[in-house]
């Protein structure tokens, strides 16, 4: 009986070519596994394609709600943004994909897992760290790093390989953007983006969005309701997180929200340029932050921002299944106890404009914050506070003056 390998299968040319390649070079039975994190119509026709390419079985695993609830929301609550811009769309999905690949491998009695990530990117790290953490006994096959066996270097080579093995598929050799899509975002790399001096060709590139210039010349009003840091309703309609993100993607895309052009630092040490469309995620994170401003105290907010940056780096580097991620997430979860209320927003030509925030746990006190004298604040108290708060500065200035006088 042949050994089995579970192949992380997208249905694209690369992973389709891997099916006959794995059979020829390792004599494996290939079990394809496509993890549906919200790729939409990219899943059309996968079953027939996998069968025609020689797979013994295809799993299509719908993990959209798990993705939203257990991977997206911890990042939203943490305010996790990598290098100030990237909302971690690909990074968040990879540990979940690795987790489900391991589960299918165990179910099928497979001895190996294969992925089609390149040797230059971050995804090889994210997939493999996840697999190592959950199933250290499984072999990992990364063809793009096996240059003695994987000799194909172009789409033309892959198409010719498939044709030679009697596999005739609806792919051509024309090059397009390298994309990754899930419910949270879609990323674009390649073509003109490989030259940072060139502007993105947004007319040819964008899938979820329009540019702000092409957005309607009218405001779109939204109200997002949260309970303990989790969005529960959009415009007074109760919805699942996945449904809220789906609707925010639609309305955000129409208004040119969440288009980011970034040159980021990959884990492997190189800079990479990409354009990310994250319309719904950008709105959701803005609304969550808007509510936190009203509820969290200053010191907790400051610590949370520091740990949120650390959380983003942990997720970006593929270290989801680590004690550090669990510890930071535990802190973040504790801060969400009172993040309940409503954030009202207006969308206009790429901008998210605050339109009011309310919470039963608001720390805002009008008597304290008002420019008029309130009954909870005595202006004279500021005298003693400033004297003590500024004491180190005053002492330092005095000592420096004494030292200068001694020189004279």
Which residues are catalytically annotated? 14, 94, 123, 178
Q: Report CA torsion sign: 182, 186, 191, 196.
A: negative
Cα–chain center distance at 187: 10
Look at residue 127 and give its three-state secondary structure: helix
Report residue 17: phi and psi, to 5°: -65, -30
- Determine the Cα–Cα distance for residues 38 and 185; give it in Å rounded to an integer: 9
Quick one: tokens of 349? 């030509």
From residue 51, alpha-carbon distances to 34, 43, 86, 104, 227 in Å are 13, 14, 37, 18, 45
- Determine the Cα–Cα distance for residues 119 and 142; give it in Å rounded to an integer: 8
Which residues touch 236 (CB under 8 Å, ≥6 apart)? 223, 225
Beta bridge partners of 274: 262
Q: Which of 165, 166, 117, 162 is nearest to 142 (CA)?
A: 117
CB 80 within 8 A of CB 307: no
Tell me the DSSP string of 84-113. TTB--HHHHHHHHHHHHHHHHHHHHT-SEE
Find the radius of gyration of the CA atoms of the chain.
26
Helix axes 279-295, 241-254, angle to 10 degrees: 110
- Determine the Cα–Cα distance for residues 274 and 262; give it in Å rounded to an integer: 6
Scan for tokens 């929200």, then name that residue: 257
């Amino acid at each position: 009986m042949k050994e089995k390998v579970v192949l992380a299968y997208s249905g694209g040319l690369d992973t389709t070519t891997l099916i006959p390649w794995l059979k020829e070079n390792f004599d494996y039975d290939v079990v394809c596994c496509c993890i549906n994190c919200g790729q939409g119509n990219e899943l059309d026709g996968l079953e027939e394609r996998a069968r025609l390419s020689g797979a013994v079985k295809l799993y299509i695993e719908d993990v959209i709600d798990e993705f939203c609830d257990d991977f997206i929301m911890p990042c939203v609550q943490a305010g996790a943004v990598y290098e100030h811009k990237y909302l971690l769309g690909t990074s968040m999905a990879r540990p979940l994909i690795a987790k489900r690949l391991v589960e299918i491998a165990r179910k099928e009695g497979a001895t190996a897992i294969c992925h089609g990530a390149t040797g230059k990117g971050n995804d090889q790290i994210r997939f493999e760290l996840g697999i190592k953490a959950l199933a250290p006994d499984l072999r990992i096959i990364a063809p793009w790093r096996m240059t003695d066996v994987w000799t194909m270097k172009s789409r033309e080579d892959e198409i010719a390989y498939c044709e030679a093995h009697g596999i005739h598929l609806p792919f051509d050799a024309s090059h397009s953007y390298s994309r990754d899509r899930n419910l949270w975002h879609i990323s674009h790399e390649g073509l003109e983006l490989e030259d940072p001096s060139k502007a993105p060709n947004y007319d040819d590139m964008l899938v979820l969005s329009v540019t702000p210039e092409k957005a309607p010349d009218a405001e779109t009003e939204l109200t997002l309701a949260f309970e303990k840091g989790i969005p529960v309703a959009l415009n007074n309609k109760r919805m699942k997180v996945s449904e809220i993100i789906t609707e925010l993607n639609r309305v955000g895309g129409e208004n040119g929200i969440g288009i980011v052009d970034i040159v980021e630092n990959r884990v492997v040490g190189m800079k990479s340029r990409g354009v990310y469309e994250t319309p719904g995620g950008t709105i959701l994170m803005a609304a969550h932050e808007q509510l936190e401003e009203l509820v969290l105290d200053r010191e907790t907010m400051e610590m949370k921002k520091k740990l949120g940056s650390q959380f983003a780096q942990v997720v970006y580097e593929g270290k989801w299944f680590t004690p550090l991620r669990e510890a930071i997430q535990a802190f973040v979860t504790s801060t969400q106890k009172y993040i309940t209320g409503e954030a009202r927003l207006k969308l206009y030509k790429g901008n998210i404009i605050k339109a009011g925030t309310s919470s039963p746990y608001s720390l805002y006190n009008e008597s304290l914050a008002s420019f008029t004298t309130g009954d909870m604040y005595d202006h004279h108290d500021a005298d003693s506070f400033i004297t003590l708060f500024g004491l180190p500065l005053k002492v330092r200035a005095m000592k420096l003056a004494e030292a200068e006088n001694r020189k004279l």
